[in-house]
């Protein structure tokens, strides 16, 4: 199993949109390296949904790959902003996997918290100038991110102080 992170903006497509629709075709990626990662995704792989550009930035949820990447239909649609005149049905340029909703992170795991974690400094996400919209995440990074998401720093502090955490 492999792990990934994809960027979006909540105004374009949010984790709540995915929760409502249950599944979505992750289309419109127009960068070759990102495309190659999309094609490498396998059914069952986990995908962090990251919001970029709009404050606060961070991971807002998790999806799971439900179908392997196939030709991205938007590259053939002339009216689409994703139209690519050089793509043909015989030799498509761009590919889109299907993602299924997994969970919303509440609260979200913000970029600031990720940056504070020493074991995560090598994440592609945190590299200077990294604009890749589809990124690989290592298994160790995945586990750490999940544990941070499930144990927000506030809860950590409360538990260290010996204060019971309510789960209601």
**Residue with Cβ nearer DNA (79 or 128):** 128
Q: How far is the CB of 130 from DNA (least distance, A)?
A: 6
Token look-up 């015989």 returns 90
Q: Segment near DNA (CB under 7 A), from 59-67, 99-107, 131-139, 152-160?
A: 131-139
**Residue with Cβ nearer DNA (129 or 162):** 129
> Dihedral sign, CA of 37, 38, 40, 45?
positive
Site for DNA in 25-84 (CB under 7 A): 31-33, 52-53, 55, 57
For residue 128, state whether it binds DNA (rule: CB under 7 A). yes
Site for DNA in 90-119 (CB under 7 A): 111, 115
Q: Are 110 and 134 in contact (CB under 8 A)?
A: no
- Where are the alpha helices (H) located in 45-110, listed in sequence order? none
Compute the radius of gyration of the chain from its Cα atoms. 17
Taking the chain, what is the end-to-end CA distance rounded to the nearest angstrom? 33
Interface positions with DNA (CB under 7 A)? 7, 31-33, 52-53, 55, 57, 111, 115, 127-133
């Amino acid at each position: 199993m492999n792990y990934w992170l994809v960027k979006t903006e909540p105004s374009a497509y949010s984790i709540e949109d995915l929760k409502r629709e249950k599944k979505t075709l992750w289309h419109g990626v127009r960068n070759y390296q990102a495309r190659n990662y999309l094609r490498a995704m396998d059914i069952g792989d986990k995908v962090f949904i990251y919001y970029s550009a709009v404050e606060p930035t961070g991971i807002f949820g998790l999806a799971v790959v439900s179908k392997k990447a196939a030709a991205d239909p938007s590259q053939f649609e002339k009216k689409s902003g994703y139209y690519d005149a050089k793509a043909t049905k015989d030799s498509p340029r761009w590919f889109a996997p299907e993602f299924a909703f997994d969970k919303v992170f509440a609260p979200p795991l913000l970029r600031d918290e990720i940056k504070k974690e020493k074991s995560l400094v090598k994440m592609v996400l945190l590299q200077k100038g990294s604009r890749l919209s589809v990124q690989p995440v290592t298994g160790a990074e995945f586990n750490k991110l999940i544990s941070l998401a499930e144990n927000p720093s506030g809860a950590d502090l409360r538990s260290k102080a010996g204060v019971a955490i309510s789960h209601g």
